[in-house]
């Protein structure tokens, strides 16, 4: 059975550092575990997200994206920091989700911001939000500031080390990828 690790970047901009951070985490997890992955950002939900009052108000493509996220075996979720918290449209998307939909699901939390002063947004904003959903947030969260990126991609050895440690905490939920068996055919 193929397991899925899906990323959600809580912003609209493309390209974005938050999306690059989520992409890096998902790619690392997919390479370490027998899983497949994908990354969504708020732009994937289109204009119907902003006007939706309930999940049934989403356009079919937006509803499909949400179904993929909710059906994942594990999530990597990040938001850019805006005024000391996650973005409003990101929260609006989560307001459409039924509380039990994420119960027990392992979630790696991350955030990106201009500087280190916003690093606690994960502990004070994101972790309680996902606690409400009874998700299993991984103990290690990942915060990245502007200095952790080069050309819009994660580039700091400290960031990459922390990201690797966080991804390893998916281990109880996934089988670690093993080296493929090599068969020698004799003539």
pLDDT per position as a tens digit, 26-84: 999 999 998 999 999 999 999 999 999 999 999 999 999 999 999 999 999 999 998 88
Q: Is the pLDDT of residue 180 over 60?
A: no
Q: What is the pLDDT of residue 182?
A: 46
Q: Is the pLDDT of residue 118 over 90?
A: no
Q: Are 65 and 40 in contact (CB under 8 A)?
A: yes
DSSP H or E run through 129: helix 127-132
Cβ neighbours of 152 (radius 10 Å): 11
DSSP per-residue string spanning 55-112? GGGS-HHHHHHHHHHHH-SEEEEEEE-BTTB--HHHHHHHHTS-GGGGTT-EEEEEEE
Distance CA 185, CA 34 (A): 26
Distance CA 3, CA 90 (A): 25
Pairing relationship of beta strands 35-41 and 149-150 according to DSSP bridges: unpaired
3-173: which CATH architecture? 3-Layer(aba) Sandwich (3.40)
Q: Are 18 and 80 in contact (CB under 8 A)?
A: yes
Q: What is the mean pLDDT of the chain?
A: 92
Distance CA 119, CA 143 (A): 6
Burial 94-116, CB ≥16 within 10 A → b, else e: bebeeeebbeebbbbbbbbbeee
Contacts of 119 (CB under 8 A, 6+ apart): 111, 113, 143, 145
pLDDT tens track for 86-113: 999 999 999 999 999 999 999 999 999 9
Q: How confident is the model at residue 167 (pLDDT cuts 50, 70, 90)?
A: very high
């Amino acid at each position: 059975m193929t397991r899925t690790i899906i990323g959600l970047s809580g912003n609209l901009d493309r390209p974005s550092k938050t999306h690059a951070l989520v992409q890096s985490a998902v790619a690392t997890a997919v390479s370490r575990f027998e899983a497949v992955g994908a990354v969504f950002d708020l732009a994937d939900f289109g204009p119907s997200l902003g006007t939706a009052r309930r999940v049934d108000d989403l356009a079919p493509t937006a509803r499909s994206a949400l179904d993929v996220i909710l059906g994942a075996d594990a999530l990597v979720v990040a938001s850019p920091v805006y005024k000391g918290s996650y973005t409003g449209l990101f929260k609006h998307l989560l307001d459409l989700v039924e509380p039990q939909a994420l119960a027990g699901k392992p979630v790696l939390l991350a955030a990106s911001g201009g500087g280190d002063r916003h690093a606690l947004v994960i502990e004070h904003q994101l972790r309680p939000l996902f606690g409400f959903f009874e998700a299993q947030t991984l103990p290690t969260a990942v915060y990245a500031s502007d200095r952790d990126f080069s050309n819009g991609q994660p580039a700091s050895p400290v960031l990459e080390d922390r990201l690797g440690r966080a991804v390893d905490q998916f281990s109880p939920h996934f089988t670690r990828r093993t080296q493929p068996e090599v068969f020698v055919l004799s003539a």
